[in-house]
Structure 1
Amino acid sequence: MDKFLWGGATASYQCEGAWDEDGKVESMWDRYLHDENLENGDVASDHYHRFEEDIRMMKEGGQNSYRFSLSWPRIIRNREGDVNEKGIAFYKKLLATCHEYGIEPFVTLYHWDLPQYWEDTGGWLDHGVCDAFAHFAKVCFDNFGDQVTYWTTFNEPKWFVVNGYFIGNYPPCLHDVQKTMIAAYNVMYASALGVKVFREGGYKGEIGVVHSYTPIDGVDDTIETQIAMRNADNYSNNWVLDTAVLGEFPIDLITRLSKDYDISFIKAEELRIIKKFTVDYIGLNYYARALVKPYTTGETQLIFNHTGKKGESKILIKNWFEQVKDPNSEFTQWDTEIYPKGLQDGLLKAYKKYNVPIYVTENGVGVREDVSVDQVNDDYRISFMNDHINALMNARDMGADIRGYYAWSSFDLYSWKNGHEKRYGLVAVDFKNGLVRKPKASYYWFKDVITSKGEIIKRREL
């Protein structure tokens, strides 16, 4: 594992703060959280002003890579595409600091913070945003291409599209299948355009996509359950990964949707671009699998736990599938199953199907923690990471080409609708007392793992 990338991950809105400084314009999340008077990321972890400290701590923690995203509204000022040079300067300093400390940047172009000036025209329902994304990508490649080897077009298309347009708990808070389909198509087309700009520009390095990976298991091996599993896989995974890697939307998904919805927005010439400009690698963000059974009765319900009170989540899509809980599994306060075998099985399945390099680009556990102590003794996080890195190493031993592991997250940050209460970081951030950084026990444990090249991981079969 000499060339393996070990690091942590963040996202611009969740950690930078400085929401209106140095020419940054409003994002859709700025507008939404301000209008709804919800806890926001105006300051977050203040990474914008403290990035040197944070990157130095990554180095001191043995990490050799940092996965982060660029803020579109910090870089592009308006719909005309004018560049904010102060935003460019900030990311150049951040990248230079990474290289100063021997940290390999792993850079995401889009991690959900669409400029509000594009949300005003319809957001991802506006097909013109696809070309705007391609322009944004080119600006980034031109300005940072000499400092970046690993590029990602989008972080978790499924998550922000489904939550924004179908479930309605993220902006723009819609509940519309037709609009969900249009947004999903536009995002995947925009991703292909980003790859096209990268290829035709002759930039160095590799470009991929990062997906919120939910490996699917069934309650039994009946034909009905197999069909439910395929439906769940199409909903959760295939429309992102098949499209990005193989260049094709799942035909059975499109066929099924076409029976009830209009698919005339899909254009042959754009499908040719999607087919031609596929990714070099995939990043898989793994938190849990989905255990499903055939649909029985009831209307569609997609309820996610944002309170940390167990038992609030429910996923059922009428006539497609129902997600159930394994009574033998452990769950977090936010109803996330702790199931490392899902990562092992999912990595093997993804590599067999797509045959491209894989990075585990997010993996972690969110909990409430008292950070007023000198050091958070997060043995639960150490146990979680140990078991999931073990799962990754098992999959590598079985032949999967896995090239990196990124803990979510590098340090405590703003966790979208969960606010600052849900903590994932290897480093504690005291949001109430000057944003002081204090490494947790997991930070030092992770350093030992990296130093040993994974040899100290407690290995077991899953």
Structure 2
Amino acid sequence: MKKLPKDFIFGGATAAYQAEGATEKDGKGPVAWDQYLKDNYWYTAEPASDFYNQYPVDLELAEKFGVNGIRISIAWSRIFPKGYGQVNLKGVEFYHKLFAECHKRHVEPFVTLHHFDTPLALHSNGDFLNRDNIEHFVNYAKFCFKEFSEVNYWTTFNEIGPIGDGQYLVGKFPPGIQYDLAKVFQSHHNMMVSHAKAVKYFKENGFKGEIGVVHALPTKYPVDPNNPKDVKAAELEDIIHNKFILDATYLGCYSPETMAGVNHILEVNGGQLDFRPEDFKVLEAAKDLNDFLGINYYMSDWMKAFDGETEITHNGKGQKGGSKYQIKGVGQREFDVDVPRTDWDWMIYPQGLYDQIQRVIKDYPNYKKIYITENGLGYKDEFVDETVYDDARIDYVKQHLEVISDAISDGANVTGYFIWSLMDVFSWSNGYEKRYGLFYVDFETQKRYPKKSAYWYKKIAESQEIF
């Protein structure tokens, strides 16, 4: 039987916009998602899981079921309704109360500053494509570091890669732009500069605690590892989603191999990038200051060579086989491989998490430690007898915990795991039908019900043994 260390964090993850509700309450400013969901999807974020009011219930459940860490994000527009300027004191008060409840319940808060929810006033003027918003983010971060001294673990951004991907490649996030690879890379770059500036300020001013960044790192494999063109497709896809932002995080620059791939992609698809000397000065200054890397891992992808036009179809409603992904000059994802996949066409491959951890160790040895900050199974839960018999979720998490144990045995410093999600929340471009939580939420009554996975996770957390 495989084990995890005694001081390992067994956490649950949430995000402000996906859980809080109260989108217009107590002075909170708007975000781009408010109207975008109304215009493009079949649901809104109101009231979501009503975490704004239900957090004492959720944290009591966390304590009862052995969850000793929780990922929480601060809604930037709840603190600064326009992203800058006047502070909303009711928002500040809410987060102080939330963090106090966490500590009361012995659940350590790991706090993220930005989880897909730039305030509308800043999102409307270009989001992180606009360099002015780099400074607005850094000023917001400075305020939070000073104000919330009770926080011991800070994350600047959640999933810089999927933000650029969702906003400018797939077009499933506001502003809904598709196939603009230059904007993808520019967004990645400017957010990494924002991260570096915030980390540098945190360290130079001696704030207590730790700070890092959370990257989504889906592992990319060639369909045929003996076909150089498939291998190249996997490498280029990896640059878009992983290597570009990892280089910025830990090298303080982009390696020649990374830039060769970026230049190839832009030669085929068009566009130019605005990289400035001062950007690389701050990236270089921050590259050794990250206390941890958060890895969000759900799936891997298999790539094959492709010469046609770009076309991406997002499977938002869980209709298996509804996905299509091919990028001109990069490659095509192959879904019909001998690997199980979810109804949303996410390929279930725990080995990919092990391989991704080993890549970080090998390519970025100045990493200090890793948390697996998100991992879980999106599922069409069946609510029966006031619970969910989610054996598939248990099996999914078990397999991923086992490869984490293997990675630790092989020398990786992995110190915690946060299941996505603590309780059911809404899933950005997939709605409320795609559930991940340990606790089932009746979105009509907001009542919580432990799933079978919650009882299983409690036993794992208490014993550190994976069974």
Class of the TM-score when normalised by the shorter of the 2 chains: over 0.9
In the aligned structure 2, how far is the partner of 1:232 from the partner of 1:190?
Answer: 24
- Rate the CA distance shift 1:37–1:381 in 2: closer, same or farther, 3 A: closer
In the aligned structure 1, how far is the partner of 2:310 from the partner of 2:229?
Answer: 19
Q: Can you list the C-alpha shifts for 1:162-192, whole angstroms capped at 9, x where unaligned?
A: 1101221110111223333332222111111
Whether 1:179 aligns to 2:189 is no
8 Å contact kept, 2:30–2:81: no
Q: RCO greater where, 1 or 2, for CA within 8 Å and sep 6 or more?
A: 2
Whether 1:240 aligns to 2:245 is yes
Q: CA deviation at 1:372?
A: 5.7
Q: CA deviation at 1:82?
A: 1.8
Whether 1:285 aligns to 2:272 is no
- Corresponding residue of 1:446: 457
User: What is the identity, as a one-letter code, of the residue corresponding to 2:253?
Assistant: E
Whether 1:197 aligns to 2:197 is no
- Rate the CA distance shift 1:159–1:418 in 2: closer, same or farther, 3 A: same
- Corresponding residue of 2:439: 427
8 Å contact kept, 2:20–2:52: yes
8 Å contact kept, 1:351–1:401: no
8 Å contact kept, 1:228–1:294: yes
- Corresponding residue of 2:10: 6
- Rate the CA distance shift 1:220–1:133 in 2: closer, same or farther, 3 A: same
- Rate the CA distance shift 1:274–1:313 in 2: closer, same or farther, 3 A: same
Q: Can you list the C-alpha shifts for 1:24-64, whole angstroms capped at 9, x where unaligned?
A: 01011112123446411120000000101101100101011
User: What is the identity, as a one-letter code, of the residue corresponding to 2:282?
Assistant: I
Which of 301, 306, 309 aligns to 1:299? It is: 309
SS in structure 2 of the partner of residue 411 of structure 1: coil
In the aligned structure 1, how far is the partner of 2:7 from the partner of 2:120?
Answer: 40
In the aligned structure 2, how far is the partner of 1:324 from the partner of 1:185?
Answer: 28
- Corresponding residue of 2:157: 154
8 Å contact kept, 2:185–2:240: no
Whether 1:253 aligns to 2:264 is no
Which of 319, 328, 334 aligns to 2:329? It is: 319
Q: CA deviation at 1:252?
A: 2.1
Which of 18, 23, 31 aligns to 1:19? It is: 23
Aligned length: 453
- Corresponding residue of 1:34: 38
Q: CA deviation at 1:359?
A: 0.8
8 Å contact kept, 1:216–1:290: yes
User: What is the identity, as a one-letter code, of the residue corresponding to 1:225?
Assistant: D
Q: Can you list the C-alpha shifts for 1:125-183, whole angstroms capped at 9, x where unaligned?
A: 21111000001101110111x22221111111110111101221110111223333332
- Rate the CA distance shift 1:300–1:258 in 2: closer, same or farther, 3 A: closer
- Rate the CA distance shift 1:293–1:35 in 2: closer, same or farther, 3 A: closer
8 Å contact kept, 1:141–1:198: yes
In the aligned structure 1, how far is the partner of 2:213 from the partner of 2:118?
Answer: 17
Q: Can you list the C-alpha shifts for 1:316-340, whole angstroms capped at 9, x where unaligned?
A: 1112122213532111111111111
- Rate the CA distance shift 1:80–1:235 in 2: closer, same or farther, 3 A: closer
User: What is the identity, as a one-letter code, of the residue corresponding to 2:22?
Assistant: A
In the aligned structure 2, how far is the partner of 1:303 from the partner of 1:258?
Answer: 21
- Corresponding residue of 1:57: 61
In the aligned structure 2, how far is the partner of 1:37 from the partner of 1:28?
Answer: 13
8 Å contact kept, 2:17–2:117: yes
Q: Can you list the C-alpha shifts for 1:349-379, whole angstroms capped at 9, x where unaligned?
A: 2222223211111110111123363111111
In the aligned structure 2, how far is the partner of 1:283 from the partner of 1:162?
Answer: 19
TM-score, normalised relative to structure 1:
0.94
Q: Can you list the C-alpha shifts for 1:228-282, whole angstroms capped at 9, x where unaligned?
A: 2221210120111111122113332344356465545211111111121132221
In the aligned structure 2, how far is the partner of 1:26 from the partner of 1:67?
Answer: 22
The worse-fitting range, judged by mean Cα deviation, of 56-65 and 216-225 is 216-225
User: What is the identity, as a one-letter code, of the residue corresponding to 2:408?
Assistant: R
In the TM superposition, 1:102-121 aligns within 5 A as 102-121=106-125
The worse-fitting range, judged by mean Cα deviation, of 75-84 and 154-163 is 75-84
Whether 1:136 aligns to 2:140 is yes
8 Å contact kept, 1:17–1:46: yes
Q: Can you list the C-alpha shifts for 1:377-429, whole angstroms capped at 9, x where unaligned?
A: 11111111111111111111111111110100000011112111110000000
In the TM superposition, 1:214-225 aligns within 5 A as 214-218=218-222, 219-225=224-230
8 Å contact kept, 1:210–1:282: yes
- Rate the CA distance shift 1:37–1:309 in 2: closer, same or farther, 3 A: closer
Unaligned runs of 5+ in 2: none
8 Å contact kept, 2:181–2:271: no
In the aligned structure 2, how far is the partner of 1:309 from the partner of 1:294?
Answer: 25
In the aligned structure 2, how far is the partner of 1:71 from the partner of 1:80?
Answer: 13
8 Å contact kept, 1:75–1:83: yes
- Corresponding residue of 2:280: 271
User: What is the identity, as a one-letter code, of the residue corresponding to 1:6?
Assistant: F
